Structure 1
Amino acid sequence: MGGESLFASISTTEQVPSHGKDSPVQFCFSSDDDECLSTKLENDLVINGFNFEEFPGLDPRISSIFEAKERQKCKVYAQVLKSYDDLRSRIEMLKEAKNKLLSYTPGSWIERTDYITRHEYDVPRTTSLLLVGPKGSGKSSLVNKISRVLEDGKFTSEPAQVSYNQSIGDGTYFVHQYMVPKYSDSFCLYDTRSLSTDLRENLKMLKPWMRKGIRDGELVKRKSDSLNLKERLKCKARRSRLSCQDRPAMPINFVIFVVNGLSVLESIADDNNMKNRNSQLMSTIFNQPLLSFKDDKPVVVVTHGDLLTLSDRVKIRVYLGELLGVSPTRQIFDIPESNDSATTLTIVEMLTYCLEHADRNLPAKVKEKTINSILPFLLIVILVAMMFAFRKSQISQPRPLATTSSTSTSSSGIHVDWHKIRHLW
């Protein structure tokens, strides 16, 4: 969801239901009213809110630092909350935004400048977006939602298989490519296996895709897989009609990081060390340089927001913004399991963000001027090498057994002066 700049001044008052409480909490957000900052943010609705009453003897200088941090969090919280209202006000732009997305072709959104043109970029035939996320994050469900939005079919068959019971479901073990829309080649989504709790396994899976490309139908195996799972995957791979090795590897152009809002909220509420480790692992993977394109990190999609209150959804986006180091209003998109216009617009804006940044970070071609400038030099080198090889082959010919002069006659009748050849050499 779009929004204002991250720390712009906002003055608003919102009634937001507290998580787990029936009574609402009054929020005041004002950059000018210092009394507003003294208002206690009850129930810790703003993450890690600081309670100054617990530290009556706190140094005023330290207290001012904490006040500044709390003021900053208040502004961010207010902006994320305001972004939901802004989204509703932009509903009339849905048709225009959707048409723009459907008219996209790879490279068509490259930033045009006076000194560089589209033809100087290495533009792919299809822009590839990689879906990455923990187990149960909702990657396959997101594929189906995107498909329904762009194909205008509420009853369109779902292309991606969704695992509704993660404890017994097989999940996604093979890479699946989905063209969006179905019969277009403008851009595609790659649904992948869920991230592991082992960082090394995740890097082993992601590095080849980001560096060498990804293949549709590729089986993702892990060392930690049980023997039973390995046997089942081997049987599935055998039944596959086409070998993924016969398909070309497609370069990844941008990454979509998918997280389950319920799991994130649980991590916020629970001080358990395991929950904290999972959050840190998610942050470590997200901030891996191999998932970024220049300075552009992946977008974040939060799923299952329809099961949460608005205050919880805001709290999750603020938390993820701090954890992952991205703007919660510009780079984190709340996409619940809903079919309303606001959700549709969020999906369209999320995809537009991905494609714009994919085009912006396309690699440049080797300039023709450079090739033309080195071509004469390459021809000279090749000619010199051929002359050298020819002279060496002539010199290495065996001499006649009996000769009384420096000149001999070859079998072809050609006279060879060996003294001159040695002199030349």
Structure 2
Amino acid sequence: MKGQLSSCEEDEYNELSRSAQYCWWRSAAKFDECVKLKYEIPNVSTLTPRLKVLREMERLALIAPEGLNELRHKLQMYRSGDFWVPTGGISKEEMDIPPTITILLVGFTGSGKSSLVNLMYSVLGRSGIIPFAQTSLGSSSNYTTMFMEEHNVSRSMKSGFCVYDSRGFEFDQMGENLEELSSWMTDGVHHNQLCLRSGDNALTKHDMENLASKSSSKFVRRRVNCAMVVANIAEIYNAYKAGDFKPLEAIRELFCSPLLRKSNENPLLILTHGDMLSTEERIDGRLKICEWVDVSETTGAYDIVCLTEYGYLAEESDPVTAYALSEAVYRALLISERGHFPKKNVWDWAVLILSWLMCFFAAFFAFLADVCSKLGQKEKLMKL
């Protein structure tokens, strides 16, 4: 058949054949039913969750070849505030938008946060400027995971966003996990920020001094604008099949935490290590996790295989994964842009000061009224 095609058709055939091997979902049992709906526009609400996932993966595969370069260019050229929509007539200049948008990766130990950062370098980095960068987790140091790491994945000093790789949480220490997350979301984060926990008491005095010297407050402290929850879909699904619901409950508690909801109403869920499961298990795992954490199986979760963990460049080996990652970062920036408030002008400060003065006078006169009331009651008792 291939020999009967023209040169143009043969090139197209080769391109489709090369990309087909990365479309793992096409071996799913329900895929034939999804193909029948490919050129139709049925009522999406009537589709089953499995068909929604298959249609979403087909959408990514359809857009990836042409849309990856365009979306990657937008992210490389991104400046803080570029995605702001002037809602209500408020312009970008009137908004309190920081010069650098901060995306924080949170998740449990082994979820793939560092591999995701490496994949971002591969997909979004400007080729030819800086060689491929690995996170410090690949170094020989034993304690690098105890530090927050700031990454400029666009490899540009003018980049409008950065990504923070954090220390992984433990499934059986959710109270301590949420307390540490609260400090990150409230107080902000900075590069080389030390993340010590109760289980680190075994460190020697020399180790503690080395860690303290490396963790420096001289780095810029950044407010977290958006958080991505990274989950190991293979670990969670295999534990679920074995009857262990602790990973599922832990990821739900983390994802549904008010701390993350306060930062952005719709946190993003990144599922990694899906290549360790079969097609049906991968879809079942995604649906089960989305059901437990109460997130849309198509618009809130991204299934991303971090191929750069093995040294492959994602944009050359798997365009679908590369586009899914770029879209996830793009959506995180869109969410961040909506979370800012207008700058306070002179009138706003005047109203704020006036309100504080009114509260002060109200409290002062309430105190005087209380004192006078008690004095009057005391005088009445003395007359009696």
Structure 1 partner of 2:279: 310
**Equivalent in 109, 114, 119 of residue 140 of structure 1:** 114
Structure 1 partner of 2:169: 195
2:345 partner letter? K
The residue correspondences of 1:355-366 to structure 2 (distance < 5 A) are 355-366=333-344
**How far apart, in 1, do the equivalents of 2:219 and 2:126 lie?**
30
Q: Is residue 96–residue 341 contact of structure 2 (8 Å, CA) maintained in 1?
A: yes
Q: Is residue 97–residue 349 contact of structure 1 (8 Å, CA) maintained in 2?
A: yes
**Equivalent in 297, 300, 317 of residue 269 of structure 2:** 300
How many equivalent residue pairs?
Answer: 312
**Structure richer in helix, relative to its length:** 2
TM-score, scaled relative to structure 1: 0.66
**How far apart, in 2, do the equivalents of 1:150 and 1:172 lie?**
24
**Equivalent in 103, 128, 133 of residue 158 of structure 1:** 133
The 1:230/1:77 distance shift into structure 2, 3 A limit, reads: farther
Structure 2 partner of 1:173: 146
Q: Within the alignment, does 1:83 sit opposite 2:73 as a pair?
A: no
2:221 partner letter? A
The residue correspondences of 1:353-392 to structure 2 (distance < 5 A) are 353-371=331-349
1:269 partner letter? K
Q: Within the alignment, does 1:258 sit opposite 2:239 as a pair?
A: no
Structure 2 partner of 1:343: 321
**How far apart, in 1, do the equivalents of 2:349 and 2:201 lie?**
53
The 1:73/1:171 distance shift into structure 2, 3 A limit, reads: farther
Q: Is residue 252–residue 292 contact of structure 2 (8 Å, CA) maintained in 1?
A: yes
Q: Within the alignment, does 1:112 sit opposite 2:86 as a pair?
A: yes
**How far apart, in 2, do the equivalents of 1:318 and 1:377 lie?**
50
In the TM superposition, residue 291 of structure 1 has moved relative to its aligned partner by 1.1
In structure 2, the residue corresponding to 1:246 is in which secondary structure? coil
The 1:377/1:148 distance shift into structure 2, 3 A limit, reads: closer
Q: What do you get for the CA RMSD once the two structures are aligned?
A: 3.2
Q: Is residue 264–residue 336 contact of structure 2 (8 Å, CA) maintained in 1?
A: no
1:104-130: CA deviation from partner (whole Å, max 9, x where unpaired): 111121122243221222110110010
The 1:354/1:258 distance shift into structure 2, 3 A limit, reads: same
The 1:101/1:371 distance shift into structure 2, 3 A limit, reads: same
**How far apart, in 2, do the equivalents of 1:295 and 1:377 lie?**
29
**How far apart, in 2, do the equivalents of 1:182 and 1:151 lie?**
6
**Equivalent in 224, 229, 245 of residue 217 of structure 2:** 245
Q: Within the alignment, does 1:284 sit opposite 2:253 as a pair?
A: yes
**Equivalent in 173, 186, 190 of residue 211 of structure 1:** 186
The 1:377/1:203 distance shift into structure 2, 3 A limit, reads: closer
1:156 partner letter? P
Structure 1 unaligned residues grouped into runs of 5+: 1-13, 18-23, 30-71, 379-425
**How far apart, in 1, do the equivalents of 2:207 and 2:306 lie?**
30
**Equivalent in 151, 156, 165 of residue 183 of structure 1:** 156
Q: Is residue 259–residue 300 contact of structure 1 (8 Å, CA) maintained in 2?
A: yes
* Larger RCO, structures 1/2 (Cα 8 Å, 6+ apart): 2
> How much identity, in percent, do the aligned residues show?
25
Q: Is residue 106–residue 127 contact of structure 1 (8 Å, CA) maintained in 2?
A: yes
In the TM superposition, residue 258 of structure 1 has moved relative to its aligned partner by 0.6
TM-score, scaled relative to structure 2: 0.72
